[in-house]
Amino acid sequence: MMNNRFVRLFTGPQSLGTSGLFWCCFLAATVLMFCLPWIVSEYELGNITYFLSNIFLALGLSMMWGCGGILSFGQMAFFGLGGYSYGIIALNLMSHVENTFAAAAGSVLISVLGAAILGYFLFYGRVSGVYVTIITLVATLIFETFMAQTAGPKWAIGKALLGGYNGMVGIPGLQWSFGDGVPYVLQDAALFFFTLALLLIVYMFLRWLVNSPYGNALVATGSSPLRTEMLGYDIRWIQLIAFSLAGGLAGVSGVLYVAWGRYITPSTMGLTTAALPVIWVAIGGRKSLLAAMISAISLQYFSQYLSASGSQYALVIQGGLLMLAIMFVPEGLIPPVGRFIGKAWRRAGGSVPMAREERM
């Protein structure tokens, strides 16, 4: 049994992973992921980097919706806000310095601020339930519509042309210089390693957060806001923190997407894309961070496979899976599988019984 103090920081009622089996599998999967540049082709590695960059969207939504009961369709709005902000700052910054990590950090902070402003009016305005879902969806579509109308030279911020529906192009990747005037650009394997390392850090941070006193208060707020407020908690502040953090994680996805593709268009914030994080999290299991990660990358692979084979029904099939999951497995597809594996491990003589109500 992994009883050391470090591991206990990341285990609790909101997480599966109290057993040695889990941590051994997690470590093995991590090592395998870091070996991918020597296993797969450059094209496949680029796809995997793109898939990993989108997982931040799912993690933020899983934390906000699974723990706090806040279903938001606004993740792609903050994704776009982070991506466009990075493009604007980086294009204007490149004429002065050769380091774009400051642009990335500033863009994530802008996404957090944007989410905090919207969240303030939502939660301190006592908006709740389905109305939060509707307002966040409307905010996403308004942002998409606005950015689609920014064509022409008059829509420029310094050296950055917003580009209207064609989007912003020619955006520099993540790079820095060691002072010799030669910039080091994160691309291909370097960008993959950076994205994967950042994803692991964020995942472990969220595991700690959802099992911390704040995480317990967030779960209580999602389960019974009135009772939690009567116990003396400021549920509006709790919800605002979760919403802002999820918006910041969406901004991270936006920055990584732009650093990967060197462009961004308003279509990244359309109705279809706004629904994708919700589909990933709901099918995998919204109360499980790990399930959200697995579901996000699996469904992205599935969608790409169908598109490559000529099928145009990837989203229709994902929608069908979502309906089936909601009707027959409302907790998602992956947590029951995790419990089954845990029971099989214990029957086979494995040590470390898992918590009775674990969620990954």
With pLDDT > 90 as the criterion, what percentage of the chain qualifies?
A: 44
Domain ranges of the chain: 5-347
Helices 235-261, 213-223: crossing angle, 10 deg rounding:
110
Tell me, what's the pLDDT at 124? Answer: 93
How do beta strands 183-185 and 175-177 pair?
A: antiparallel
How much is the average pLDDT of 303-325? 75
Residue 310 reports pLDDT greater than 70: no
Q: How distant, in Å, are the alpha carbons of 72, 87, 189, 257, 270 from that of 92?
A: 32, 9, 27, 19, 27
Collect all residues with Cβ–Cβ distance below 8 Å to 300 and sequence separation of at least 6.
50, 51, 54, 280
* pTM metric for this prediction: 0.89
Residue 162 reports pLDDT greater than 50: yes
Residue 95 reports pLDDT greater than 80: no
Comparison of pLDDT for 155 and 99, the residue scoring more: 155
Collect all residues with Cβ–Cβ distance below 8 Å to 324 and sequence separation of at least 6.
none
With beta carbons less than 8 A apart as the criterion, state whether 179 and 195 touch: no
How much is the average pLDDT of 219-228? 89
The three-state secondary structure class of 136 is helix
Tell me, what's the pLDDT at 2? Answer: 45
Tell me, what's the pLDDT at 136? Answer: 94
Quickly name the fold that domain 5-347 has: ABC transporter involved in vitamin B12 uptake, BtuC (1.10.3470)
Comparison of pLDDT for 223 and 343, the residue scoring more: 223
Mean pLDDT of the chain: 85
Candidate ranges 3-12, 160-169, 237-246; pick with highest mean pLDDT: 237-246
pLDDT tens by residue, 247-288 = 999 999 999 999 998 899 998 888 888 889 999 999 888 888
Q: How far apart are CA 315 and CA 176, in angstroms?
A: 38
Q: How far apart are CA 288 and CA 59, in angstroms?
A: 9
What is the band of 12 on the pLDDT scale with cuts at 50, 70, 90? low
Which stretch of 157-171, 231-245, 331-345 has the lowest confidence by average pLDDT?
A: 331-345
Q: How far apart are CA 256 and CA 267, in angstroms?
A: 17
Comparison of pLDDT for 54 and 326, the residue scoring more: 54
Comparison of pLDDT for 307 and 147, the residue scoring more: 147
In angstroms, how far is the first alpha carbon of the chain from the final one? 18
How much is the average pLDDT of 93-97? 68
